[in-house]
Structure 1
């Protein structure tokens, strides 16, 4: 009799495990072009592997996706390592930690373990605040980093940058650059555009509007290459590093351990110029994020 009972229990447990494994994997995502592309890469990769997948890559902003994954409403979505600064406020992550790619990734991964979330491999890109300048200015004055720019400005070089009020007023944006690299902009060197987006500021720099020859930007903006602008490097880590990585519910990963290798390969293939180009195909050419993601994955042999 005990043996029959054990057999029934084992069958029930096996059935439950099989049912959990067969549950569709829900892929979430944010709304901007880059997040849409990365979300589609995750979705298409899992679908191509024969897994049952539900596409919710247009779910909402960071807060919406965060609540959804904690509640088990979605299983995986692309998140940025730098967001650990406010996802885990009690950790009190400092600027030095946030500016180091390995450190901020390690902290994000460690701090989310207790939440049942696993951070997979991040892409070798940094979607963070940067200073962009026209290629001609960079070439003529040998500007490749903010350190080079500081020497140029302190040496009397002509400089005027366009940006939003947030870009100039938040302590972790332009003031952080000034503090880390030892320069201070005068009011006349700032063109503050209320409500401006990075592409609008970059357009001003590309066209020399009102004497502007620099603009706020994100490191992976697709408009930079199209407008012949250069994103200056931040060797001192004045800004937090925002590397995109798939984050997945640990229970989902345990049920489908092959996902880690698949998504790690995808994100390992992405570098800064590549992501800028892909972003531009959506933002400037009007292509769908799914088409762009599919074409890229196929070009890398990552889709059948």
Structure 2
């Protein structure tokens, strides 16, 4: 009898140990899976468009995230025509975008010129259509503009596009050609400001526009408002679009919703960066790379250290 009882007790003990081991094994598998998921979610894929400004700003984002303890994978040099598809297809987690690009190029909506209204519109539509979040927009605006040689601007008292229109007959205009015909180029300007009766109008390669101005072959040319050469205000003056013919192109991080839900502090990290950026600072960063030929990573690192 005692022998049977001992055998039964031993069997029970073995069963308990087996259940315990199985449970422990299950916990290990679960923990391992959980750790892998945690590791995966902690890697943030930062995308960048394929031009200087895009890479500088994306690198600044990446540095800020790394400083906060995130592991970052840089997916840079993506063509502007496909970067929206990249984030929608889960190939990247975030990238810097322009509010005007979101409004006109991605959403295909009508022109809006108020910065806050543009931002509110793209923020709402991106959330509804793509499950993407626009974080705070910065004051850095890389939009369309007109630039004049500073010596002439001072001589003629030209500060705005309205001033320019009044003096157009005294000035030589240079463009890459497309601007003269494009809906948001000369046609939009003349619809808003009146006709521009230039002294002369010639077509040059767009990459040579600042050389054309510097060599006194022309006086005025279209520009994007954060181009590096514009940092030299002794040479070039960016005119105020005082009647707001062009939409704003404010920089802001666009982030996948699932990434923000898993890592809500990313919003605070990147919003703090946006709060420091403006058109003048971004122009200066572009100048260091495009004019002074510094490495974009060094430029981004130096700037990040100065604002963090």
The TM-score range, normalised by the shorter chain, is: 0.7 to 0.9
For the 8 Å contact 1:202–1:214, the answer to whether it is kept is: no
Shift in Å, 1:21 = 6.5
The aligned counterpart of 1:166 is: 178
Q: 1-side partners of 2:222 and 2:305: how far apart?
A: 33
The aligned counterpart of 1:111 is: 125
The size of the alignment, in residue pairs, is: 279
The alignment status of 1:54 with 2:66, answered yes or no, reads: no
Gapped regions of structure 2 (runs ≥ 5): 1-22
The aligned counterpart of 2:114 is: 100
The aligned counterpart of 1:206 is: 214
Q: 1-side partners of 2:151 and 2:271: how far apart?
A: 37
The aligned counterpart of 2:187 is: 175
Structure-to-structure mapping, 1:1-304, within 5 angstroms:
16=34, 19=37, 22-23=40-41, 24-58=43-77, 60-83=78-101, 84-89=103-108, 92-94=109-111, 97=112, 99-114=113-128, 115-153=130-168, 156=169, 158-186=170-198, 189-193=200-204, 196-197=205-206, 199-209=207-217, 212-226=218-232, 228-300=235-307, 302=308
Shift in Å, 1:181 = 0.9
Shift in Å, 1:22 = 3.9
Shift in Å, 1:167 = 1.4
Bigger CA radius of gyration: 2
Q: 1-side partners of 2:300 and 2:231: how far apart?
A: 19
For the 8 Å contact 2:50–2:80, the answer to whether it is kept is: no
Shift in Å, 1:76 = 0.4
For the 8 Å contact 2:228–2:285, the answer to whether it is kept is: yes
Shift in Å, 1:225 = 2.7
Q: 1-side partners of 2:30 and 2:201: how far apart?
A: 68
For the 8 Å contact 1:38–1:78, the answer to whether it is kept is: yes
3-state DSSP of counterpart to 1:220 = coil
Gapped regions of structure 1 (runs ≥ 5): none
Q: 1-side partners of 2:253 and 2:93: how far apart?
A: 10
RMSD: 2.2
Cα 1:110–1:18 change in 2 (3 A) is farther
TM score, norm. by length of structure 2: 0.84
TM score, norm. by length of structure 1: 0.85
**Moved segments of 4+, more than 4 Å:** 11-18
3-state DSSP of counterpart to 1:46 = helix
